[in-house]
Structure 1
């Protein structure tokens, strides 16, 4: 199962990098969000997909599940949502003011 998730992480990184290298501002925002999802899966895969009991005192379980990767991923999801919302608002404002979402036209390189 870890191998399948590792391949999926690589696929997310590949798609996100492809989208970030495009000229459209919305594709760049979507690419950064997809890379963030790939990082979340990478953290989950690195933490291991083990099954075990709850880490509670007084329980007689031999194996425990580490809750740290899930806590890190939950925090990363919230931060990713906030950053994506900020990027979308900035791109909307850039579209209203400049009339385009093309990166070359925003920079002022209109010779293309």
Structure 2
């Protein structure tokens, strides 16, 4: 493997890891952690949280554009929601969501 290949691989690896200091997220508490943080979110990010908590199975299969459209927010807002939870981006967020065993039984948060 050449130096250019190694640089690409190390960059790819860096993008797929959680941000330093984010801490390990246990899958059982993943949706609970989102639910607990809803009151601290911006209104636009709360819309994203509501969509994620309301149908996590669908979020796993959809693009950030589709999530943003369903939440009626911009794509950067949906990305900010995912990265603001301590993930490297939307794909990393979806991977953790997919590993969460409680995802199908999570009730959506009520209105403020």
TM-score for the superposition, normalised by structure 1: 0.31
Q: Which is greater in Rg?
A: 1
With structure 2 as the length reference, what TM-score do the two structures score?
A: 0.31
Q: Which one scores higher on RCO, CA 8 angstroms, separation ≥ 6?
A: 2
